[in-house]
């Protein structure tokens, strides 16, 4: 099963997947995007979130005709942290 949370429509989407058999999507909370949390990596961002039951997170980043998806950890868990590199303002 899969659900999508659009953080910035057309630019950044968070995908949640969970084991088959769960009839109801998980509750997503504490979603945060920290832009440039480290001055040594100014084009980086960290996305963190939590869910009420184990899920797998994928992050889709896109702009115009370029889109890519990352799944940093294939494990199902409740607390997630995803690092996105190469993000530029504008």
Q: Looking at residue 18, what is its pLDDT?
A: 77
User: For residue 27, what are the CA distances in angstroms to 32, 40, 62, 70, 78?
Assistant: 15, 34, 25, 21, 10
- Band the pLDDT of 79: cuts 50, 70, 90: very high
pTM score over 0.75: no
Quick: pLDDT tens for 10-42: 556 666 777 777 667 788 888 888 877 778 878
Query: Has residue 71 got a pLDDT over 70?
Result: yes
When the pLDDT of each residue in the chain is averaged and rounded to a whole number, the result is 77
């Amino acid at each position: 099963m899969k659900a999508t949370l659009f953080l910035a429509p057309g630019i950044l989407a968070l995908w949640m997947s969970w084991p088959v058999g769960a009839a109801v999507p998980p509750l997503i909370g504490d979603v945060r995007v920290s832009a440039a949390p480290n001055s040594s990596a100014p084009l980086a961002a960290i996305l963190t979130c939590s869910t009420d039951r184990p899920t797998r997170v994928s992050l889709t980043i896109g702009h115009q005709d370029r889109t890519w998806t990352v799944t940093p950890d294939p494990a199902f868990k409740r607390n997630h942290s995803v690092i996105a590199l190469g993000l530029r303002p504008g």
